[in-house]
Amino acid sequence: MAAKQTTAEKLADLRERLDKAQDPGSERSRKRRDEAGRTTPRQRINELLDEGSFVETGSLGKTPGDPDAIYSDGVVTGYGRISGRPVCIYAHDKTVYGGSVGVTFGKKVTEVMDMAIKIGCPVIGIQDSGGARIQDAVTSLAMYSEIARRQLPLSGRSPQISIMMGKSAGGAVYAPVTTDFVIAVDEEAEMYVTGPNVIREVTGEDITSAELGGARQQELNGNVSAVVPSEEDAFDMVRDLLDHLPLTCFDESPEFAAPSDAEVAEDEDLNAFMPDDTNAGYDMMDLLTQLGDDADIIEIQENFAPNMITAFGRIDGKTVGFVANNPMHLAGCIDADAADKGARFIRICDAYNIPLVFVVDTPGYLPGVEQEKVGLIHRGAKFAFAVVEATVPKVSLIVRKAYGGAYAVMGSKNLTGDINLAWPTAQIAVMGAAAAVVMIAGKQLDAAETPEQREMTKKMFMDFYDETMTAPYVAAERGYLDAMIQPNQSRLALRQALRQLATKQENDLPKKHTIAPM
């Protein structure tokens, strides 16, 4: 019979176990990690959280029934603070079972998610997992389901952020794309359902993992919110995002100091912003920066559907969500990808009570056979559906073109927009003059006897159309605009509109849920 341990021996035993749990992977795995220049999961967590705030949970967890089981079971879990506000967090440990999902792994992750649900705080996952743990068979799959089941009560209640710092394959890839934001580290992150080796074996297709699911490829696929060059940049973005988001949908987003009304009352630079040529491009992000309080604009999905800009900023010290057309790409037309991008961002803003500011310059939905093939009809409807469904304040500023159905979905009054503003450079119509003249004056153009006469007739009708149809004063006279403003009044006008709408409340008709176009 073994001698009974003294208290001192018990304390020493605990210290020894905790020390082993700090970096429990095999010597070979740790060496491979260190040679690759990767940090440990605990280092990553401590780098992200406020200094000294991380409290680890489940560090001594092991796979049950396995005498050789390793502490932590492939994931580090716990809670802490970012900018003084609570978060729950987990990070995969690639050196332990490849970061694969096992029974104890799953229990640890679900426990921090349960804590986030109870107390109301964001969940951050640092992803670097090989997928399901084959040895655990169906138990591993059950843990995937347990994790996914908790993402639903968290979704739209508390922010969920995934940081992709390595491979995420198989079932492990579904959890991050179900979160609100996915930040991928360039040249490190990989995401795919089926890896290149299996694809090569099954289909004969030879493809590298980077080509299949590298960070840049998944950015183009629309599966990540941002690609950043390093882990440090990923952590910076998480902090910036959380500075723009509430702890829960029942809380307010953090409020920051803002310039006074007098300071923003007349921004003369905006009066010279818009080019005289109505077809000339310009930097929409530059305009958004000038409309906001400062240059702290966080663009979401920058390189996916760049013809639509979705970004967080601040007006009057409070978070807003910008939805803006980008004339530098596809002339600002809304295509199927842009509709998906805009719809998702609008739903995120609506879930977290973030007002929407639409900055409009679009010649319409993008026409063409290819767009019809990829589902522009139902995907475009999804965008309109998200706009109508959103109950947060919605303010639109039309700076140039607002044509056709795209005018309607970009926060127009008839599609539940609250306050509509326009610059004198705005053009609002079913279509632009160049397209309309063919339909309105087609016979007169065909009757022209010379090319010169045809051009003269075309110009005459286009000028008439611009004066009587596209001029913003037509919309203002008919009550579809709340105010025509000079560009230099935009910052103050947006502030005043959002202040007026701060107490907005909308109650939908009773039902279980809406059925959005998919």
Q: Look up the CATH number of the domain holding residue 287.
A: 3.90.226.10
Q: Of 212, 243, 274, which marks where a domain is finished? A: 243
Within-domain flag for 248: no
Q: What is the pLDDT of residues 177-218, one digit of tens each?
A: 999 999 999 999 999 988 898 899 899 899 999 999 999 999
Q: Is the pLDDT reported for residue 137 higher than 80?
A: no
Q: Which domain holds residue 380?
A: 261-423+485-500
Helical segments of 390-506, H only: 404-409, 433-440, 442-447, 451-465, 472-477, 490-500
Non-local CB neighbours of 474 within 8 Å, separated by 6+ positions? 428, 468
Q: Do 222 and 103 reside in the same domain of the chain?
A: yes
Classify residue 303: in a domain, yes or no: yes
Give whole-number Cα distances, 463 to 60, 79, 429, 435, 448, in Å: 77, 64, 14, 13, 18
Cα–Cα separations (whole angstroms), residue 452 to 35, 448, 455, 465: 73, 8, 5, 20
* One domain for residues 336 and 393: yes
Give 268-318 pLDDT, tens digit per residue: 889 999 999 988 999 999 999 999 998 889 999 999 999 999 999 999 999
Given a cut of 90, whether residue 266 has pLDDT beyond it is no
Q: Are both 325 and 215 inside the same structural domain?
A: no
* Mean pLDDT, residues 226-245 taken together: 98
Neighbours of 147 (CB within 10 A): 22
**Beta pairing, strands 427-429 & 419-422:** unpaired
**Among all residues, which ones are annotated catalytic?**
170-171, 405-406
With 0-12 CB in 10 A as exposed, 13-18 as middle and 19+ as buried, what is 282?
middle
> Mean pLDDT, to the nearest integer, of 416-441?
91
Report the 10 Å Cβ neighbour count for 383.
26
Residue 162 domain flag: yes
Whether the predicted pLDDT of 130 surpasses 80: no
Give 372's contacts (C-beta < 8 A, 6+ positions apart). Answer: none
When pLDDT is cut at 50, 70 and 90, the band that residue 34 belongs to is: confident
The dihedral built from the CA positions of residue 410, 160, 34 and 104, taken in this order, carries a sign that is: negative
User: Are 96 and 232 in the same domain?
Assistant: yes
Domain end among 209, 243, 277: 243
208 and 270 in a common domain: no
The angle at the Cα of 79, spanning 75 to 215, to the nearest 5 degrees, equals: 55
Using DSSP, state whether 466 is helix, strand or coil. Answer: helix
Residue 74 lies in a domain: yes
Q: Model pTM?
A: 0.93
**266 and 238 part of one domain:** no
Antiparallel, parallel or unpaired: β 160-169 and 190-192: parallel
CA distance to 200, 254, 287, 455, per residue, from 197 (Å): 5, 46, 46, 61
Q: What is the CA radius of gyration of the chain?
A: 27
Question: What average pLDDT is seen over the chain?
Answer: 93
Please give the full DSSP string across 246-313, using - where no structure is assigned: -SSTTSPPP------HHHHS--HHHHTTS-SSTT----HHHHHHHHSSSS--EEESTTSSTTEEEEEE
Backbone angles phi, psi at 214, to 5 degrees: -65, 165
Q: Provide the 10 A C-beta neighbour count for residue 425.
A: 17
What is the per-residue pLDDT for 226? 98
In a domain, 304, yes or no: yes
Classify the C-alpha dihedral 455-460-463-465 as positive or negative.
Answer: negative
Banded pLDDT at 410 (limits 50, 70, 90): very high
Say whether both 147 and 238 belong to one domain: yes
Q: How confident is the model at residue 1 (pLDDT cuts 50, 70, 90)?
A: low
Same domain, residue pair 288 and 238: no
- The reply to whether 349 and 222 lie within a common domain is no
Per residue in 160-182, pLDDT (tens digit) is 999 999 888 877 788 899 999 99
- Residue 37 belongs to some domain of the structure: yes
Shared domain for 104 and 163, answered yes or no, is yes
**Do 203 and 351 reside in the same domain of the chain?**
no
Element (H, E) at 203: helix 196-203
Q: Number of folded domains in the chain?
A: 2
Residue 429 located in a structural domain: no
What local confidence, expressed as pLDDT, does residue 184 receive?
98
DSSP state for residue 95 in the 8-state scheme? T
One domain, residues 226 and 88: yes
Where is the domain boundary, 191, 216, 243? Answer: 243
pLDDT, tens digit, 9 for 90 and up, residues 49-90: 999 999 999 999 998 888 888 998 889 999 999 999 999 999
254 found inside a domain: no
d(Cα 326, Cα 307) in Å, to the nearest integer?
A: 5
